[in-house]
Amino acid sequence: MFFGKKIGFNEKAQSSSPFELLVAIIMMGFVIIIGSQMISSANHQVCLANVDKSMVEFKSMLEDTVTFRTSNKFDFRPNSSNCYKETKSTMKIEAIRNNPRYCGSICGKAIDSCFVMIFYTDSIANASKQKCLNLPPYTSFLWDNVSCPTNTESLSGYKAIDPTKPNTNLSSGSYVLVNVAAAGDTYSKICTYVRK
């Protein structure tokens, strides 16, 4: 017969097990929280990269329309992955006049006036993008029915907008940019059509 202490179960080990389990659960919780924040941050970076790519495509189409006095039709889908709320976001073109400091910092050259494509959203912290548009300073954006008629078959379902108006938002959709300047006009006149 064995009259000593039983080997294998230590009372001290048994009493510290719940504490060790609690510490492990707390540490696991921190790892999960930090991991989910890192995944969320990576998703936001991918989202902003898609927005940036879409802005570059829009910029290129607009600059081509002005430079070559042509028309361009394209899809603009900055929120293709639904990573931000379009209702809480702004995508617009601003005409900046007589502000050489701002235009110089955005465009990287000494100019007094410029056009800037701007994106910002409240859905993602610190999410904003700006692109300098290489357009002549007196480029006009038209939207009236006389200058920008929509009654042609190729523009069926499209609406003319002025992307430089304060409350106009360049949302996802199909766009047509048309330079309607006459052959003798010095500066471009652009009609921007959108179909959502």
What confidence tens digit (pLDDT) does each residue in 155-196 have?
999 999 999 998 889 989 999 999 999 988 889 999 999 998
Q: How confident is the model at residue 75 (pLDDT cuts 50, 70, 90)?
A: very high
Checking DSSP bridges between strand 140-142 and strand 189-195, what pairing results, if any?
A: parallel
d(CA 97, CA 87): 28
Cβ count near 108 (within 10 Å): 9
pLDDT band at 110 (very low <50, low <70, confident <90, very high): very high
Q: What percent of the chain has pLDDT over 90?
A: 51
pLDDT tens readout for residues 48-64 = 888 999 999 999 999 99
Residue 14: per-residue pLDDT: 59
Q: Which residue has the tokens 């994106």?
A: 119
**Span 25-52, pLDDT tens digits:** 888 888 788 877 777 677 778 888 889 9
Provide, rounded to the nearest whole percent, the portion of the chain with pLDDT above 70: 91
At 128, is the pLDDT very low, low, confident or very high (cuts 50, 70, 90)?
Answer: confident
- Is the confidence at residue 17, as pLDDT, over 80? no
d(CA 93, CA 156): 25
Which residues 6+ apart lie within 8 Å of 189 measured at CB? 139, 140, 142, 147, 179, 180, 181
**Distance, CA of 10 to CA of 5 (rounded, Å):** 10
